[in-house]
Amino acid sequence: MRRLVARGRGEAHRVASPLELFFDLCFVVAIAQAGVALVHAVAEGHAGQGVLDYAMVFFAIWWAWMNFTWFASAYDNDDVLYRVVTLVQIAGVLVLAAGVSRAFGEHDFVVVWLGYLIMRLALAAQWLRAARTAEGAERTTALRYASGVLLCMVGWLGLVVLPEPARPWVFLVMVVAELSVPMFAERDFMTSWHPHHIAERYGLFTIIVLGETIAAATVAVKSAVDEHDALGELVPIAVGGLLIVFAAWWIYFVVPIHGHLRSSAQAFLWGYGHYLIFASAAAIGAGLEVAVEQAVGTAHVSTTAASAAVTVPTALFLVTVWALHARHFKVGLAQQLVLPVTALLVVGCTFLGEGAVLAAGLVCALAVATGTTLTARAEAREDAVGRAPDAVG
């Protein structure tokens, strides 16, 4: 047992701990359940309701993950109590995952709310423990976090007790309330989160989500081949999906984002914006499953609708990655336009029939090649300018 005190923001060699990696892997279980439910909803022709339910459930998963991540970056002391409370949060997300299918199928959020309650009570306990050893403005910040987390849990009861038509409005109100808690809590004192550690944590979670996307698509293709012997129809989807995921990984990690996370304003925007990155990355896998089911005739949607299930989240991923950090490292109009134009072209691929997913994958691969070429040329010009004075001398 050790005092829970803030870690240094400039701490050297700060990396993700084994407990944090285990935490991420357990959260992907809930993401996988949300993806499966989204596949069933879209494949049955209920895309609108399915996307709404997915957005609601994914917010609960993402927000609990994000709150733990930033708290751990500032206060992880890795003692026995800290580990036990973190494991309680993991248990909470597994309870939430168990309730995902009922939330989608019956709009019953009781189990999801209970899982979320377990996670949030554990987080509030961590903040209260931090407040016990902190002083002044830091203590006030910790108490604000704890009280905000607990008050929001009361608000989320609306998803359980209010009639179904009111629940989307409850969700919107509570999203605003939840997002406001960190901004309110840190208005006088900024917690000592570590920029390199935060960037690594988000990057690792992105890799895990993309890995889940590949796993889900692989299982779908395998099942379709085993049950329907439709390899010819599935190869273009498999190749296109693989190119999309490879390009998504390349585009996300092409720039070192930790240097951009210098202020609270930048960190809030970047951290919050990852809801769209994570949600769209996971939805790509669900879309590929829908495309596979449509190709073998088990989905009750058109080819265009199945293609849109892949291309729309792919375009959203590209635009969000560009808006959050890629644009800060692009020089010149050509580099800045690569990802936005790619997103538009990917959406246009939706209407190409059975070759839509393959076309979208080729467009993404071409975007990576174009971006790499433009960057190489820009670096070559900089090197030439740097060598020019030496040549003259």
The mean pLDDT values, 10 residues at a time, for the chain of 393 residues are 83 88 90 89 88 90 92 91 94 91 85 93 95 92 95 91 88 93 90 88 92 85 74 84 93 76 73 93 92 86 92 95 78 79 95 92 94 78 63 42
Domain ranges, ordered by start, for the chain: 18-192, 196-387
Fold of 196-387: I/LWEQ domain (1.20.1410)
Place of tokens 């996670």: 119
Contact assessment for residue 263 and residue 385, using Cβ atoms and an 8 Å cutoff: no
Among residues 385, 321, 388, 317, which one has the least CA distance to residue 346?
Answer: 317
Look at residue 393 in the predicted model and tell me its pLDDT: 40
Q: What is the pLDDT of residue 168?
A: 87
Quote the CA–CA distance of 119 and 61 in Å, as a whole number.
Answer: 10
List pLDDT tens digits, range 108-166.
Answer: 889 999 999 999 999 999 999 999 998 899 999 999 999 999 999 999 999 888 888 88
